[in-house]
Amino acid sequence: MPTSTTSATSSSGGVLQSLGVGSGIDISTLVSELTTAEMAAPNARIKREQDSVTTQLSAIASLKSALSTFQSSLTALLNGSGFSARNIGSSDDTILTATATASAALGRYQVTVQDLAQSQHLLSNNFAGGATTYVGTGTLSFTSGDNSFDVTIDTTNSTLAGIRDAINSASDNQSVSATLVYGQTGAQLVLSSLQTGAAASMDITANGGDGGLAQLTYGVGNTSNFTEQQAAQDAVIFVSGVEKHSAGNQISDAIDGVTLNIKDVTAGTPISLSISNDTDHVVSLVNSFITAYNTLQTTTAALDAYDSATQEKGPLFGDAMYTSLRRQMREALSKTVSNVTGPYTSLAALGVTAGLDGTLSMNSAKLTAALNSDFKAVSNVLSGAGGVISRLNRTITSTLLTGGGVASRNASLKTKQNSIDGEKLLIELRTAKVKERYLAKFNAMDTLLARLQNTATFLTQQMDALNRASKS
């Protein structure tokens, strides 16, 4: 039997390496198109499912991030620290100002400043030779307050200027500053204590050397070498009639939780100091809360949106978990607080209301009036154990916890994604089989056509040979 002059060789996978030998048809392209057409429906379905799951996973991630960001903004109101801020008022802040911590009790105090704390200033006797005057050698020892240090004076620094520099550059000197002042008849050494308070007065002794440093000694019973220009002195104040002394002009142990900063003495009239709740701080915190909540609403608005014109839905439209979360948050905001009595038992009563779009707005005048009227009630409505912020925080925490709504939905979607990946693999295997089936069919057809063509060619050649023979 005649054989084909051109053969088709199959690959290890059964796919022909040479196609269309017999028919001249581009079998490879034809098979690809037929396979694509046959598998179009399952491929489209799996892509829709895959895109849907991916979109939902992204939506859940966005929701989780937005909730976490909002929850972190609740701290100041949640722990009540915002209601612990104190406002300090002074009847004359050129004489007295103050700051207060949350532990400061509310109240009013009368403060009289009798003396300011001050440091000691000493002026030495005159040295006619000026800064270059030789003074002497030895060791000068200084004591001022809790600090003591020694200064060694030798021939390299035995002048008045050298002694000044030696005092200032002493490594363990934390209490005395030295300088020179120049007059008509010479120079004088000025020593200033760096600390205020009576205990910071200076004591100066001299030892060894040639004895010349005795000109710079000073202390109890020895005051002839220096003139005290300013005495070391404690601050003396009276708080509601109680006397208080302090080494400094910043006094933090006269009133619990309050630091007083005295600047001048009072001239007969006591300074009135008031400690009250900082209502402006609370209003600012509530405004920050509203901004954070509205940002959450804006960030998540597209998740369950629905466009009636295009009928396009957000990835969480109709989602039971998300719908429940939104409902719980609305209830947390709108319900009254059960353990509060009086007119201020809800956000709305404080001037915070929700619009049709779900965002909050605040009537600051109404909130301020509520704070001035019943600060404690407002604190409980917002920051109490059963208050609005606590309810919101519990709802979010429950949603974000392992096993909560967000985590459960995310796990469910991950499982579905894995299932889709498995199904996608099966479709790929099925696609390969479909392609193999089409190739087998067209290969058989092409082989048959090739054989028929070979047979036709052989017969034509035989007929031509017979015709030539009969003519000859």
Last residue of a domain, one of 201, 230, 259: 230
Query: Once rounded to an integer, what is the mean pLDDT over residues 102-123?
Result: 96
The model's confidence at residue 472, banded by pLDDT at 50, 70 and 90, is: low
Q: What is the DSSP string of 91-139?
A: S-TTTEEEEE-TTPPPEEEEEEEEE--B--EEEEPPBTTGGG-B---EE
381 and 10 in contact (C-beta within 8 Å)? no
Q: For residue 10, is pLDDT > 80?
A: no
Last residue of a domain, one of 209, 230, 251: 230
Query: Once rounded to an integer, what is the mean pLDDT over residues 7-28?
Result: 50
> 300 with 429, same domain?
yes
Q: Does residue 134 sit within a domain?
A: yes
CA 232 to chain centre: 47
Q: Does residue 360 sit within a domain?
A: no
> 248 with 186, same domain?
no
> 322 with 468, same domain?
yes
State percent of the chain over pLDDT 90.
59
**What is the pLDDT at residue 129?**
95
**What is the pLDDT at residue 15?**
43
Query: Sheet containing 250-255: which strands, arranged edge to edge?
Result: 96-100, 258-262, 250-255
Q: For residue 25, is pLDDT > 50?
A: yes
The mean-pLDDT minimum among 37-46, 150-159, 170-179 falls in 37-46
Q: Does residue 357 sit within a domain?
A: no
Q: Does residue 408 sit within a domain?
A: yes
> 285 with 273, same domain?
no
Query: Once rounded to an integer, what is the mean pLDDT over residues 205-221?
Result: 97
- Distance between CA atoms of 284 and 364, rounded to whole angstroms? 9
> 75 with 201, same domain?
no
Q: For residue 153, is pLDDT > 60?
A: yes
> 406 with 322, same domain?
yes
Q: For residue 264, is pLDDT > 70?
A: yes
The mean-pLDDT minimum among 209-213, 277-281, 409-413 falls in 409-413
**What is the pLDDT at residue 24?**
62
CA 59 to chain centre: 24
The mean-pLDDT minimum among 291-295, 325-329, 357-361, 414-418 falls in 414-418
**What is the pLDDT at residue 20?**
53
The mean-pLDDT minimum among 48-57, 103-112, 148-157, 402-411 falls in 402-411
Q: Does residue 264 sit within a domain?
A: yes
Give the other-Cβ count within 10 Å of 77's Cβ. 24
Q: Does residue 400 sit within a domain?
A: yes
Give the other-Cβ count within 10 Å of 99's Cβ. 14
**What is the pLDDT at residue 462?**
78
State percent of the chain over pLDDT 70.
94
- Which structural domain, as residue segments, surrounds residue 267? 86-117+235-277
CB proximity list for 325: less than 8 A, separation 6 or greater:
395, 399, 405
> 261 with 150, same domain?
no
The model's confidence at residue 78, banded by pLDDT at 50, 70 and 90, is: confident
Last residue of a domain, one of 214, 230, 246: 230
> 107 with 226, same domain?
no
Q: How many domains does the chain have?
A: 3
> 289 with 423, same domain?
yes
Query: Once rounded to an integer, what is the mean pLDDT over residues 264-278?
Result: 93
> 246 with 100, same domain?
yes
- Distance between CA atoms of 466 and 472, rounded to whole angstroms? 10
> 6 with 155, same domain?
no
- Residue with the bigger pLDDT between 3 and 136: it is 136
Query: Once rounded to an integer, what is the mean pLDDT over residues 309-326?
Result: 88
Residue 223's nearest CA partner among 124, 119, 120, 118 is 124
Q: Does residue 338 sit within a domain?
A: yes
pTM to 2 decimals?
Answer: 0.66
Query: Once rounded to an integer, what is the mean pLDDT over residues 216-239?
Result: 97
Q: For residue 226, is pLDDT > 50?
A: yes
The model's confidence at residue 267, banded by pLDDT at 50, 70 and 90, is: confident
Average pLDDT value for the chain: 88
The model's confidence at residue 40, banded by pLDDT at 50, 70 and 90, is: confident
**DSSP structure class, residue 321:** H
**What is the pLDDT at residue 5?**
39
> 138 with 173, same domain?
yes
**What is the pLDDT at residue 448?**
76
Q: Does residue 447 sit within a domain?
A: yes
User: What are the pLDDT digits (tens) for 237-259?
Assistant: 999 999 999 999 999 999 999 99
Question: C-alpha dihedral over 459, 465, 469, 472, to 10 degrees?
Answer: 140
The model's confidence at residue 13, banded by pLDDT at 50, 70 and 90, is: very low
The model's confidence at residue 102, banded by pLDDT at 50, 70 and 90, is: confident
